[in-house]
Amino acid sequence: MSASVLLLTLQVAIVATVVNLPLALAVSWLVVKKRVRGRFLIDLLVALPLAIPPVAIGYFLLLLLGRDGPAGAAIRAVLGVDIVFTWVAAALASAVVSFPLITRTIMVAMGAVDSRLEMSARGLGAGPWRVFLTITVPLAYRGILAGVLIGFVRALSEFGATVIVAGNIKGQTQTIPLALFTSVQTGDDQGALQLVAASIGLAVVTLLVHNWLLQKSRLQNVQ
């Protein structure tokens, strides 16, 4: 396994997670704390990528980001670049697929924050943003980190959507799952085993940290 495949996989997963985090925080706050109208529909849309085959998500992104797609045409007109079949497209595909996992975990974490503390802060004159940044996020931070990690590990393993919208271009869009697929197709068993080992290693480390954070969060809630 080449170092470029590992680095590209980490790059794609990190960018996908960074893109997801502010969106997940905003959606979770609207649904859990603000309880806006239509939150059932918002929650449904958040969970939708879990129920749709990743290949279908990739095809939708291909239509959206392609040269003739609305987003792709606008980006090409403004920046003069194409998004599809680049590592950016791979990151966006990974972001869409992993978004529900991050958001739902953060929703649970925010829901566990005592609303009386937030109301007290509001009563002392703090605005919604200040309450969110100084009360809600600090008290829910372990759950937020857990959501980030579970989304990150999902982005590491994304294949179906990525291969449609980004392709399997060696040195450009080929992440560990795509390289593993190539190794299996070409009968490179040694390369495939190395890629499997790398995938398992990355996933185990991330999930161990994730489970530790969840355990700490449960202990804090009990206390």
Q: Are 95 and 61 in contact (CB under 8 A)?
A: no
pLDDT band at 118 (very low <50, low <70, confident <90, very high): confident
Lookup result for tokens 């790059």: 11
Which tokens is 39 given?
Answer: 């939150």
Which tokens is 156 given?
Answer: 């590491």
Q: Are 11 and 87 in contact (CB under 8 A)?
A: yes
Strand boundaries in the chain, DSSP class E: none
pLDDT band at 1 (very low <50, low <70, confident <90, very high): low
- Farthest CA pair distance, the chain: 67
pLDDT band at 220 (very low <50, low <70, confident <90, very high): low
Q: In terms of Cα–Cα distance, which of 199, 195, 174 is closest to 86? A: 174
Task: List the CATH number of the domain containing 89.
Answer: 1.10.3720.10
> How high is the pLDDT of residue 221?
56
Q: pTM higher than 0.95, yes or no? A: no
The three-point CA angle 144-11-217 to 5° equals 15
Alpha carbon 186 to chain centroid, angstroms: 30
Segments forming the whole domain that contains residue 27 = 3-222
Q: In terms of Cα–Cα distance, which of 54, 9, 13 is closest to 160? A: 54
> How high is the pLDDT of residue 223?
55
**Mean pLDDT, residues 98-122:** 90
Structural domains counted in the chain:
1
Q: In terms of Cα–Cα distance, which of 180, 183, 169, 177 is closest to 153? A: 177
Q: In terms of Cα–Cα distance, which of 173, 137, 175 is closest to 158? A: 175
Dist. CA 179–CA 186, nearest whole Å: 11
